[in-house]
Structure 1
Amino acid sequence: MAMLEFDDVEVFYGKVQALRGMNLRVDEGEIVALLGNNGAGKTTTLSTASALVRAHAGRVAFNGQDVTRAHPWNVVSAGLIHVPEGRRIFSTLTVLENLQLGGYLVKERGLVAKRIERVYELLPLLAERRTQQGGTLSGGEQQMLAIGRGLVAGPKMLMLDEPSMGLAPLIVNQVMQVISEIRDQGTTVLLVEQNARAALKVTDRAYVIDGGATTIEGSARDLMADSRIIDAYLGA
């Protein structure tokens, strides 16, 4: 079953076209990566899916519902959660307070508490740091907090924008392992990532985006063996 679909989506920033007939599909239970250079349209794709950016043409569907003209809060309520590039945690709030804000639209406070406990089980370091201000965490810890905050919202699908940016290789591996565990626990994942090697190790499929459109699509295994991907993203 398709969880997220883009059909010939076009997006403009003023007179600059960012997406040019974008087509992609993410099925339930998958981890799918979007690969590409800076300015290719990866972040715009996520922002369009979450209704932060409005498509000028084409159709965006989430879980079978047309969300092309939806409001961002309706998309969140439907279960599509976007963890943006740069973490964007609240630096002066504690880890616990940041996580609680992830459940802002959840009416049952008891459900928020249960989800926070599940986040602590998945990311025990956050439990140890629960009373610590977010701004005092390391970069890797802040990324885990941003992911955990997204999970408290109760996503059917989690979109992650550059979760490995600025992190040491060991921490990148830990982040990717967490992403894999999130999928194993039942959440579909769409991952924007410049570290193609790390992304392809945990994803089922990937799209390469260039000039605002998908140019290559395939299984992670096939793309890791594709000479175009090796030359452009993986090295020798």
Structure 2
Amino acid sequence: MSSLNLENVELYYNRVHALRDLSIEVREGEIVSLLGNNGAGKTSTLSLISGLVRAKSGTITWGGKNLAKLQPWDIVGAGLIHIPEGRRIFSTLSVHENLLLGGYLVRDQKLIAERAAHAYELMPRLAERREQQGGTLSGGEQQMLALGRALVGGPQLLLLDEPSMGLAPLIVKQVMDIIRAVNSEGTTVLLVEQNARAALKIADRAYVLESGRVTMAGPAAELAADPRVIEAYLGA
């Protein structure tokens, strides 16, 4: 069974102590959400897992494999695919070209085509925009495109950074429904999200980060009912 484990991780940006004794676990088949305000360490956690930054100490393993010793492209090859905040699609390429680029490490062209077709099934809006330039899509459509591109890579673990940012509530629900559908097909998800209400609705478990530390953890339903979480993140 492949699970992601961060144990006693310390991360610094020069003199800034970004993550402090951070320990989290994401078990196979789960949706786990990281909650917290700006600067809490959520994006840093995803960057660390993806190999974009390196910890000063602590361990990061995926299915027993030490991720700290791998290059970012090797981490992608191991099945961990990161959709960064802001989507980062290729704005001058078509929707279909963006999708195909998600399979740059996949050698089987037939498999790439099958995965792209499945992305279109999951997100019919993309099929309607197949030949349209990515930069002309709405924010919600660009988020769907980023999800579709990741799916073509065949993720075992999907790392999502603020997928609801800047989206209207109806589109947020659609994006969260897609994430839940992807998870139901066997992809594990680690979701960073400021929209705590939306995140807790689809997550199995969650962690709350403050100043680089885990301050609360547990089943999503329990955290959603916790007065401290309600006051800090959910409102009345």
For this structure pair, what is the TM-score category when the shorter chain's length is used for normalisation? over 0.9
| 3-state SS, counterpart of residue 68 of structure 1 | helix
Instruction: Give the counterpart letter for 2:113 in structure 1.
Output: A
Q: CA separation in 1, counterparts of 2:157 and 2:106? A: 16
Paired residues, what number? 236
> Cα offset for 1:200?
0.5
Q: CA separation in 1, counterparts of 2:63 and 2:188? A: 11
Per-residue CA distance 1:15-58 (angstroms, 9 max, x = gap): 11111111000000000000000000000000000101111100
> Cα offset for 1:64?
1.7
| 3-state SS, counterpart of residue 96 of structure 1 | helix
Identity rate of aligned residues, in percent? 63
Per-residue CA distance 1:93-123 (angstroms, 9 max, x = gap): 0000000110011111111111101111111
Q: CA separation in 1, counterparts of 2:142 and 2:2? A: 31
1:140 aligned to 2:140? yes
Per-residue CA distance 1:167-211 (angstroms, 9 max, x = gap): 000000001000100000110000000000011110000000111
Per-residue CA distance 1:96-155 (angstroms, 9 max, x = gap): 000011001111111111110111111111111110000000000000000111111100
> Cα offset for 1:69?
2.3
Residue pairs, 1:102-117, within 5 angstroms: 102-117=102-117
Q: Which residue of 1 aligns with 2:19?
A: 19
TM-score (norm 2): 0.99
TM-score (norm 1): 0.99
Q: CA separation in 2, counterparts of 1:2 and 1:89? A: 28
- 5+ long unaligned stretches in structure 1: none
Q: CA separation in 2, counterparts of 1:3 and 1:98? A: 29
> Cα offset for 1:68?
1.4
| 3-state SS, counterpart of residue 218 of structure 1 | strand
Does structure 2 retain, via aligned residues, the 8 Å contact 1:89–1:145? yes
Q: Which residue of 2 aligns with 1:130?
A: 130
1:195 aligned to 2:195? yes
Q: CA separation in 2, counterparts of 1:76 and 1:189? A: 14
Root mean square deviation of aligned Cα: 0.7
Q: CA separation in 1, counterparts of 2:211 and 2:2? A: 25
Q: CA separation in 2, counterparts of 1:219 and 1:39? A: 23
Q: Which residue of 2 aligns with 1:32?
A: 32
- 5+ long unaligned stretches in structure 2: none
